[in-house]
Structure 1
Amino acid sequence: MLRGDAKMEAFFKITTSYLASLVEAGAALIIACAALQAFLYAIFLFLRHLAIQEMEAEHIRLRLGRWLALSLEFELGADILRTAISPSWSEIGQLAAIATIRTLLNYFLQLEIDRASRRYPRTPEQPPG
């Protein structure tokens, strides 16, 4: 019976590892798309106004920040998946450190987004222009 349990645990570890990789790929895709969107909007504003106006540039930055915050959540989810099946104390310690760092990054990013949203009340989902 013990041998079957070991096989099942190995199966779950491999499956969870693939799921974590898939979630990380999703986070990378979110970052890539958000960066491309921010870049294209910035170019559009630059060509349209010959200089990016502060308020519109801030909205581009806020939109990018929101997507980055979302991708941080996905990355944290991937880390949790990696340590979900029979973690060692070392893996738990690493997860705690990574979770703390990512949570702090997300917290301060959200503070900045909220502060900027109060300065520039237009919703960032509206296209510039």
Structure 2
Amino acid sequence: MLEHSKFWIEHLATGVELAAALVIGLGCAEAIWRSLGAFAGRAVKPEIRLALGRWLALGLELALAADILRTALNYFLERETRGAEEGSHAARRYTSSTASSAA
């Protein structure tokens, strides 16, 4: 169950990162397009900056969400790894104690 969850969380985080890159790319493309219009005298420059800022804010929020997903995933992976290491140490101690008592 946990392995299945890890798989989907990792893919979800990757998808959110792709969405962040897409949003930032679209915002930059729009700003460039509108800037070209501003040079021709059709657009207002402060509005272009504000629109780009909104796109960037959304993109950064998505990137932050992907980082939060990966941080949570890393926490659970580390906890599982630590539990597996403790279990293998206990098994080795049990094996060595039974082998020495049999001798």
Q: Which TM-score bucket, shorter chain as reference?
A: 0.5 to 0.7
Q: State the TM-score, normalized to the length of structure 2.
A: 0.67
1:14 to 4, 7, 32: 7
Larger Rg: 2
Q: Which runs of 5+ in 2 are unaligned?
A: 80-103
3-state secondary structure, aligned to 2:3: helix
Q: Going by fraction, where is helix more abundant, 1 or 2?
A: 2
Cα 1:69/1:87, change in 2 over 3 Å:
farther
Q: Aligned residue pairs: how many?
A: 77
Q: Which runs of 5+ in 1 are unaligned?
A: 1-7, 90-129
2:49 — aligned with what? Answer: 61
| CA RMSD between the two structures | 2.0
1:32 — aligned with what? Answer: 25
Q: State the TM-score, normalized to the length of structure 1.
A: 0.54
Following the alignment from structure 2 to structure 1, what is the Cα–Cα distance between the partners of residues 35 and 77?
A: 44
Cα 1:71/1:35, change in 2 over 3 Å:
same
1:70 — aligned with what? Answer: 58
Q: Which runs of 4+ in 1 moved over 6 A?
A: none
